[in-house]
Chain A
């Protein structure tokens, strides 16, 4: 099946540092979504991207839809303790109208 390669798998940073994670694929995607999931909770949508090259911000979060439509990145600036969690990218294939393909997740840990 389709796969999204998400990296890094885990990050250990100091509070206040910036964070960057990305997802790549060999397939073209129509949509990229970024989610954050806390333990025992459902994923929460952070940012949605619909156009190649699109750059979208949500507070301290910035995400971009790669120009090739095969990748996306998420940046978090000036990290704070509540940013801890697992971040997932998800993409929608052109032919898979209702199927989202998820990356394996990036686990973010912040040292105060």
Chain B
């Protein structure tokens, strides 16, 4: 099973709303990631969690707040977003954390976010 599950698949939110994106994997992976992808562009790394601790924040604005409640779950809390934040948000996971020997990252289907 190489499945990463993201919910919801689509989300429309206003600029004053608070919403959360959810990601779940049951592969025993200890590294989980949030990526943002704009149309016709490659995924851009936002955050990395390793062993449930935030290890990388790619200078993401504070209106995006990640959370890793346990080794299987990853959330992305959204607040006061701007229309330019509309994108496909992808979650991924991989087997290893700090000492990387395998970086095969498996992606979820993504959440298509539209900010109005």
Q: Is A25 an interface residue (CB 8 A)?
A: no
A111–B116 Cα gap in the complex (Å)?
Answer: 37
Binary B-proximity of A11-36 (CB < 8 A = 1, otherwise 0): 00000000000000000001101010
Instruction: Check if B107 sits within 8 Å of A97, measured CB to CB.
Output: no
B87 contacts chain A at the CB level, 8 A cutoff: no
Q: How far apart are the CA atoms of A104 and B40 in the complex, in Å?
A: 8
Q: Are B105 and A33 in contact (CB under 8 A)?
A: yes
With A31-B103, A40-B112, A42-B107 known as contacts, the answer to whether A99 contacts B56 (CB < 8 A) is yes
Could you tell me how many residues of chain B have their Cβ less than 8 Å away from some Cβ of chain A? 32
Q: A92-B100, A98-B100, A99-B56 are in contact. Are A45 and B108 (CB under 8 A)?
A: no
- A99 and B45 form a contact (CB under 8 A): yes
Q: Which of under 10, 10 to 19, 20 to 34, or 35 or more describes the interface residues of A?
A: 20 to 34
Binary B-proximity of A60-96 (CB < 8 A = 1, otherwise 0):
0000000000000000000000000000101010000
Residues of B within 8 A of A45 (CB): 2, 104-107
Name the distance in Å between A112's Cβ and chain B's nearest Cβ.
24
**A-B pairs under 8 A by CB, number:** 65
CB-CB under 8 A from A105, the residues of chain B are 40-42
Are B90 and A43 interface neighbours, CB within 8 A?
A: yes
Taking the nearest CB of chain B, how far is it from the CB of A39, in angstroms?
A: 10
A99 cross-chain contacts in B, Cβ below 8 A: 45, 48, 56
Tell yes or no: B55 within 8 A of A by CB. Answer: yes
Would A98 and B43 count as touching, CB distance under 8 A? no
Chain B residue nearest to A103 in the complex (CB):
B42
Task: Please name all residues of chain B whose beta carbon is closer than 8 Å to the beta carbon of A92 when the two chains form the complex.
Answer: 100, 103
- Using a CB–CB cutoff of 8 Å, the interface residues on chain B facing chain A are 2, 4, 6, 31, 33, 40-43, 45, 48, 50, 55-56, 88, 90, 92, 94, 96-100, 103-110, 112
* A binding-site residues for B, Cβ under 8 Å: 30-31, 33, 35, 40-45, 48, 88, 90, 92, 97-100, 102-105
Give the 9 A-B residue pairs with the shortest CB-CB distance, closest first: A102-B42, A42-B107, A97-B100, A92-B103, A98-B48, A42-B110, A42-B109, A43-B107, A48-B104
